[in-house]
Amino acid sequence: MKRQAYIAKTQEERAVLREILRCRDIHSQIISERMTRMRERFERTGKQPKTVWLDTALGIFSQRALEAWVRLQDLGVISKPDELGPYPMSASVFERCLTPPKYRIRPYNLLREKLRLATFAPEVFDKPSLKVLDLSPGTCANHEILSARGHSVTLADYWDRNSQTTSFQPFWTHYNVHPLYFDGRVLPIPLPTAEHDLVLCHQAINFYANPPQYLEYIREICRLAKTKVIIIFNASEDQETGQRNQDIPDLSLLNGWNHQITRCPETYLPTVILEKCEYQLT
């Protein structure tokens, strides 16, 4: 199903969209120049790059950021004006950043993760001083949102022994965070049992394991949590049929955990909410 772009309907929404587009425009030129160099390099090597409609793509994600802002308003979660501002990073820092261009749009990062939290873990906006573990934190959007509300956030990321750095390093430097590294291919994950109230694993489990191993890894992620686990899957594509698979294992095999299968409100990716049986799903 093709997703329709959200169109600003009110004066306030149009003002929000202008701020989001300002963040997009700050870095669109340097990203465009980088894509031009990539095309030239591919031409020299005889390989054809994928066609990238950069301005269109960035415009789409700007519209999706606005849609997330509107849905948060409907949920009663008000976004602060400074969440619509750009990253205070120089162009030279972003020139070295290897993440997809959409992640340069700070409101997109923050509003997307805030909508996920408001949908799947609304308690973070009501309860004080929760301990949260964020596996593969990416742009650190959850870190910014949760830390601002007084929660204790631990970041841990997959360690690739073949790489000396990560594409998200500019964000980690900006937030002055130092995630704990672990080898996602090896269990157990070297973190204490039931130390965190909430464990987040957003679009990351496919980097740790293949679908046949997902149940084993989900069980290990649950070990780290006191109360709740949220896992958002990256839907895989069947090489023969081209169909996108959910790859969610039989969660009834997880003893002591209630589960709910749903979809991410922003990406529509398959999502699992797991909560210990003595607690009720929110």
Residue 281: the pLDDT is 45
Q: Are 209 and 217 in contact (CB under 8 A)?
A: yes
Domains and CATH numbers, the chain: 11-110 (no CATH), 121-276 (3.40.50.150)
Strand partners, 57: none
Does residue 280 register a pLDDT over 80? Answer: no
> What span, in angstroms and rounded, lies between the C-alpha atoms of 214 and 198?
19
List Cβ neighbours of 278 (8 Å cut-off, separation of 6 or more): none
pLDDT score, position 151:
98
Q: Residues 67-102: pLDDT tens digits?
A: 999 999 999 999 888 999 988 877 667 666 778 778
Q: What's the pLDDT score for residue 51?
A: 47
Where residue 247 falls among pLDDT bands split at 50, 70, 90?
confident
Q: How confident is the prediction for the chain on average, in pLDDT?
A: 85
Question: Residues 55, 25: contact at Cβ < 8 Å?
Answer: no
Overall size of the chain counted in residues? 282
Phi, psi of 91 (to 5 degrees): -60, -35
Rounded Cα distance, 29 and 101, in Å: 11
How does pLDDT run across 181-205, given as a tens digit for each residue? 888 888 999 999 999 999 999 999 9
Query: Among residues of the chain, what percentage have pLDDT more than 70?
Result: 79
Please count the CA atoms within 13 angstroms of the CA of 93 that sit on its side-chain side: 13
SS3 170: helix
Helices (H), 75-102: 91-95
pLDDT digits (tens, 9 = 90+) for 89-147: 776 676 667 787 788 889 999 999 999 999 999 999 999 999 999 999 999 999 999 99
pLDDT (tens digit, 9 = 90+) per residue, 27-55?
Answer: 666 666 666 666 676 667 665 555 455 66
